[in-house]
Structure 1
């Protein structure tokens, strides 16, 4: 329902464009410019609900021609090795406007970002930040509240946001860093990269920590989808071409865009490491009160007070490889009574009312001991509101040798979001690679 309302809102406001006035557009450069190299020339393009698809260039030298009683969002792109305009930029501006009535300013620093020499673009981030800082100070002089400013920076744009915030002594309301650039910034002190002191609230997403992004936490909350490195659905081989290099990095943008659309909620869980998260050792959300664990993305600011109080920065979640990216989280507890220790993997399928979902728990070989409960994190690729049937498959992943069996004394499945009563099955025999289907029953009270 919420997604439908957003869509209708976007469609309605798109009808308000003043078609009689020419629009200012993002600078479109080419490979020639990248080879020659470009110098900094910052252009600010204003989008509003009155003109959601038509940018109006804002002059730097005059009072801002914008409604300064409204909050303002700045969207700042990153390195542009070919000079082409980012395809996600204007859609993201439109999604922000569909969510809230505010000024959206696209920071076009394509002249400065377009270079085959990445290091030159890095140097240009400081001049770009100085230009933007001067403009925001002009906004403040004419009545704008710095606390109502939200900066969304992608890659190098994340660090530009940080430099601006630092110059304004951390008074900006919020900075969102989408996979802040790693090369030339890893290991740098806080003053030389995005840092949690740069705004009143800093949220960061890490999707390429082993290549183009940064591994270390930078904000008040740092999200690490799929552990922060290899993203589901992205190419695993260099034979895939340029997508192999940029897919993980760009996933931060598409995840954030989906959070704006309100398609579904992605809950993130505080944990010291990704492995502990996968082992279901970080599923307790009681520290956040009735709100539960934070929702990733645009709406995480609703958890600001709790996050500032708790101080924990690393939060993990897994995603699907394609839209919708969100998964449904369950805690799975299995108690077995095999005489010998068994090792293997578990796959579970849920179905009911024309819905189905699947979870494969294979991040490591699982250990099943007699009368010892094994706790697992089961993340399903969809949601089944009312589970009518459940299928379970056990695999030891042993190619040669006898087929193994897993004798289950009790299987218990508990949804992590919501208050649904856990589902159970008792006395179950799982044969190697044979799918067993059954109707689960509500767990007995003694098993809560």
Structure 2
């Protein structure tokens, strides 16, 4: 194992953001693999996570080893440790997901694309030393993709993954108990593709402990077959599920029984893996992109629950067309977005973090304080181009402290799972705090 301690963090501050009192900083962590977007994919849950005063991150290093790092907030030096585990970094699906449970143990899952579960956890609270690979429940762990960890307010964990392949897969849920230190199966099939399709989801747990899941359906491995935007929530830790109206779902959820936040036909350039967040009242907000009917240009979209009705609004105005079709990871001129919701003095603000070739592939943030007016103010968080990077962030720090800790690395990405000749690039954590 390789252990490195940086002498101290590099701290940079910028002025002139959308809010005159907003602050921005960035700290380098180490060098990471960059020939594709395996370190920078949007569906990493999580790439960065905070527990009490410590913040953790993970990435594949220059030769593909899973690497962990830890620092003491707000500005301590990063301790970086290479694990003995190596991933197939040539497949951009094979991301690293990590979480820290309420007792301080790191949980790690990595290197999946229809493959055997690879999961381990730390040897002691706060430790970067990981134990051996082990099963969770030992059931349906042969064809795992898209692992996601989430932490409940009480410190237990939720783990979601796809069992099966693109166009033919189901959503599985496990729960980890702090008391027993064991995983148990909640649902072997929460969302059922019925052998004909699969759901591409993202999830969040709000401050009240409600689990929110949004997803699009895909009919085949072809990205162009993505369609529709569906929603479900659980108010009892993932055991039972309901629609936004409170109507209970009969499980598993299928294409016929799902609640649809927005109907979107196939071949609309609808991307898979939406982003979802909830406000202080538990109302969900979903961000993604697609091409509106009768137009040629895909646009960022926000879908939110206003009272009892779902509303859709366009975020910004793009002018560059592109088309999604084919299989494998695509080289796309925009990133899938992340949506966040903040509350200050009783006022709600919605934020969307993204990358767009129209803004020179920078990490950008747009915000709206009045969704009824649908006016957005956009700024670039950093000025350097990031290639094919997509945003992922520390959900726990945002939820508890209102600080955006963003995992940032310039990455390449060839179309259809090919590589670019890009040398290892610095991994950074970029921090942004809204003006107060």
Q: Output the TM-score relative to the length of structure 2.
A: 0.29
Higher strand proportion, which one?
2
Q: Which has the higher contact order (CA 8 A, sep 6+)?
A: 2
Higher-Rg structure is 1
